[in-house]
Structure 1
Amino acid sequence: MRIRFATEKDIEGIARVHVESWRSTYQGIIAESVLSNLTMEGRIKKWAQIFERGQSDSVIYVLEDEDGMINGFFHGGKSRQPELGYDAELYTIYLLQEVQGLGYGRQLFDTFVDTLKQWDYSSFMVWVLEDNTSLHFYKKLGGHVIASKEIKIGEELLTEVALGWGKDEEA
């Protein structure tokens, strides 16, 4: 497996990982009606729009196997909520279920942190659904809870938690 900068040619692979990881990760957390309505077409359209906007203040990396198949990715950059006091934000990080628990999430996370250092960001945050098991992953990496909010997904209100890493902390 290798981690590399994503290009527009990766949109379909990113969309596939996005859909498949949502269906496996959020099963039992998000309503089945929401998960079953996720489509490749919808995710491809969303990721195409992200790439069209450009990445002057954000970055996307993919995790690909030796056959060029994308197994994970992250997207992050400038904080979308600077009022919380963090420079940057990890917007999304997803891995296919079959490669979770093998250290690739940590490698993607470390790549994100290295990118932030190159951009002179000193702190960052991530939003995670409270019931998502990855919350423990982020806490293990040194993230601490800085905020929470209720969000509506489908017809349900769910709690989302923000974790942060400051400039004086090690990721």
Structure 2
Amino acid sequence: MKVREAFIEDAEGIATVHVNSWMTTYAGIVSDSYLATLSVENRTKSWVWTFENRTEHEKVFVAEDNDGRIVGFSCGGRNRNEEYLHDGELYAIYLLKEFQGIGIGKSLFNSVVETLKNNGCSSMMLWVLKDNPSLGFYSSQGGQQVGQKKITIGTDDLVEIAIGWESI
């Protein structure tokens, strides 16, 4: 297993993980009708846009299996949330279900943390759906709930929790 910085050529592999992770992680949380609208093709376009428009402080990482297949990703940069004083943000972290629980998520998480530190950040936050079964992962990494907000995904009204690290 290898974690490395991602490049625009990885957009389709990242998109595949993104869509498949949503299907498994959010089943029963987000409506099936919304999940059915997700496509690797559209998500790939979104990731290409992300790579073409990210700032110098934003990084994307991928985890590859022994065959070079992308099985997870993480990304982060400067905090985009003015209401929180954390200077860094983990924007996203997703890992295919069959690769969870063996340390890959922690490696992807730490890759973003190290990048934030290298860019002068001393604290970090992220947003996670309240009902996300991976919520405990963030607690195990030392994160604490610092806020919450209501969001809408498709036709579903959900609660998203802000998790923060005062020191990274």
TM-score (norm 1): 0.95
The percentage of counterpart residues that share the same residue type is 48
Query: Is it true that 1:17 corresponds to 2:17 in the alignment?
Result: yes
Letter in 1 for 2:115: T
Indicate the residue corresponding to 2:4 in structure 1: 4
Letter in 2 for 1:42: N
Q: Equivalent residues in 2 for 1:102-113 (5 A)?
A: 102-113=102-113
RMSD: 1.0
Deviation per CA, 1:67-92, whole angstroms, max 9, x where unpaired? 11000000110101133111011010
Deviation per CA, 1:146-167, whole angstroms, max 9, x where unpaired? 1100000111100000000012
User: 5+ unaligned residues in a row in structure 1: which ranges?
Assistant: none
Distance, in Å, in 1 between the alignment partners of 2:89 and 2:31 is 26
Indicate the residue corresponding to 2:34 in structure 1: 34
Letter in 2 for 1:50: T
Indicate the residue corresponding to 1:141 in structure 2: 141
Shift of 1:93: 0.2
Deviation per CA, 1:30-87, whole angstroms, max 9, x where unpaired? 0000111100111011101101113412100000112110000001101011331110
Of 24-33 and 81-90, more deviation after overlay is shown by 81-90
Q: Across the two proteins, how many residue pairs are aligned to each other?
A: 168
Indicate the residue corresponding to 2:91 in structure 1: 91
User: 5+ unaligned residues in a row in structure 2: which ranges?
Assistant: none
Shift of 1:110: 1.3
Distance, in Å, in 2 between the alignment partners of 1:131 and 1:15 is 22
Q: Equivalent residues in 2 for 1:20-169 (5 A)?
A: 20-167=20-167
Letter in 2 for 1:160: E
Letter in 2 for 1:5: E
Distance, in Å, in 2 between the alignment partners of 1:111 and 1:82 is 24
CA contact (8 A) 2:21 2:96 kept: yes
Letter in 2 for 1:138: Y
Shift of 1:18: 0.2
Letter in 2 for 1:125: M
CA contact (8 A) 2:57 2:119 kept: no
Distance, in Å, in 2 between the alignment partners of 1:49 and 1:33 is 25
Distance, in Å, in 1 between the alignment partners of 2:29 and 2:83 is 28
Distance, in Å, in 1 between the alignment partners of 2:39 and 2:82 is 32
TM-score (norm 2): 0.97
